[in-house]
């Protein structure tokens, strides 16, 4: 918390946020990697004990998930949103929606009860358990529905982007509903446990830029963020973190004004550069990850060049958690990965034997 809020942390942090992509463990095993290396436990990454409050700010209930077709290559099923989805087993970990439940106001109103407030969204016993874990050093984190991501899950990207212009009342009602629920649940939580970190998953950008521009972000998403962030701050939160892949550069300033103060994973392949972002935004924003995962497919010189630029430039900065910008891709040798980890720790002055434990980190 001190590191990402610029309060003088003792040293930088070095993490692995998602782990290997599908099939990479088999590649590493064939190259002689140990079981501890394949599990990533051998690399002693920094970690945070992420503590759930048991509170539900998003979809409540939902539809029964059913498998409709299952082959060695793919699985077609229905999900909690009532969508038909397809998972390509050898290439993906997230299924592709084939249809969406919300088309207009009438279809949204049928889904709306799944997002409105209900007393069972708050579990006092789970909140008390979170408080006990927090007292032992755990990070209390609360997930809110994405201002872009949740409407996208319900409508699909294309229909959502059109709806900003043609059905704005639907989007406003969605986000107002989400905000009402978040405010009420956070108020209940605040009576039991201090929230450390409000987290929102968005994935609102591609390589060429965000799928929602600055004007629409300010019109729809920013007011929603501000309402929930104000409630989270009243519950004690100091960090408002956002997970979004892709090129977020055109709307970083908009996110800062809306309350976001930690962004991840900062993908270099999409034009995100944590060194340049730090120069531009200073201590308005903290960053997690941002080392180019694809550099690890190259030579040791390629790895050194990337690490020295990112880690060497920012090693004395607060508000930086170093790590690869997403999953470790196929084609990264275990030899290169060992070199990468050792090099980062050397530059940061972290003892390679310092105890750590790899987990999918919080924030």
What does pLDDT average to over the chain?
A: 95
264 forms bridges with which residues in the sheet? Answer: 243
Q: How far is CA 306 from the centre of its chain?
A: 23
Per-residue pLDDT at 359 exceeds 60: no
Query: Greater confidence, 99 or 358?
Result: 99
Per-residue pLDDT at 358 exceeds 90: no
For 16-70, the pLDDT digits (tens) are: 998 999 899 999 999 999 999 999 999 999 988 999 999 999 999 999 999 999 9
Tokens of 158: 């294309």
Q: Name every residue whose Cβ is closer than 8 Å to that of residue 242 and which is 6 or more positions away in sequence.
A: 199, 200, 201, 202, 255, 260, 262, 263, 264
What is the model's pLDDT at position 355?
65
CA atoms lying within 13 Å on the CB side of residue 223: 12
pTM over 0.85: yes
For 293-304, the pLDDT digits (tens) are: 999 999 999 999
For 279-292, the pLDDT digits (tens) are: 999 999 999 999 99
For 256-267, the pLDDT digits (tens) are: 999 999 999 999
**Cα 355 to Cα 9, 283, 306, 350, distances in angstroms:** 18, 29, 26, 10
What is the model's pLDDT at position 351?
83
H helix runs in the chain, sequence order: 24-30, 35-38, 105-111, 124-135, 149-155, 157-166, 168-190, 214-216, 222-234, 252-258, 274-281, 300-307, 313-314, 334-348
């Amino acid at each position: 918390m001190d590191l990402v809020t610029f309060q003088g942390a003792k040293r930088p942090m070095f993490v692995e946020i998602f782990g290997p992509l599908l099939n990479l463990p088999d590649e590493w095993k064939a190259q002689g990697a140990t079981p501890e290396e394949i599990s990533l436990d051998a690399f002693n990454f920094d970690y945070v004990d992420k503590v759930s409050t048991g509170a539900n700010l998003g979809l409540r209930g939902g539809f029964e998930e059913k498998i409709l077709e299952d082959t060695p290559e793919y699985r077609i099923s229905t999900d909690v949103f009532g969508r038909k989805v397809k998972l390509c087993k050898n290439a993906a970990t997230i299924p592709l929606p084939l249809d969406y439940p919300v088309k207009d106001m009438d279809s949204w109103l049928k889904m709306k009860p799944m997002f409105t407030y209900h007393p069972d969204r708050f579990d006092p016993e789970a909140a008390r358990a979170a408080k006990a874990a927090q007292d032992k050093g755990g990070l209390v984190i609360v997930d809110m529905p994405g201002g872009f991501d949740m409407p996208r899950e319900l409508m699909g990207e294309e229909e959502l982007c059109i709806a900003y212009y043609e059905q704005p009342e639907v989007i406003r009602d969605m986000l107002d509903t989400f905000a009402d629920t978040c405010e009420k649940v956070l108020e209940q939580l605040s009576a039991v446990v201090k929230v450390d970190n409000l987290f929102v998953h968005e994935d609102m950008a591609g390589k060429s830029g965000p799928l929602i521009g600055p004007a629409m972000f300010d019109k729809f998403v920013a007011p929603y963020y501000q309402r929930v962030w104000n409630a989270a701050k009243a519950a004690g939160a100091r960090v408002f973190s956002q997970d979004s892949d892709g090129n977020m550069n055109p709307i970083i300033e908009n996110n800062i004004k809306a309350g976001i103060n930690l962004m991840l994973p900062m993908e270099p392949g999409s034009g995100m550069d944590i060194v340049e972002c730090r120069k531009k935004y200073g201590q308005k924003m903290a960053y997690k990850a941002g080392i180019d995962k694809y550099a690890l497919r190259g030579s040791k010189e390629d790895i050194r060049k990337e690490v020295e630029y990112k880690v060497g430039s920012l090693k004395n900065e607060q508000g930086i958690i170093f790590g690869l910008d997403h999953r470790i891709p196929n084609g990264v040798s275990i030899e290169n990965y060992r070199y990468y980890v050792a090099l980062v720790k050397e530059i940061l002055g972290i003892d390679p034997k310092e105890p750590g434990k790899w987990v999918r980190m919080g924030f």
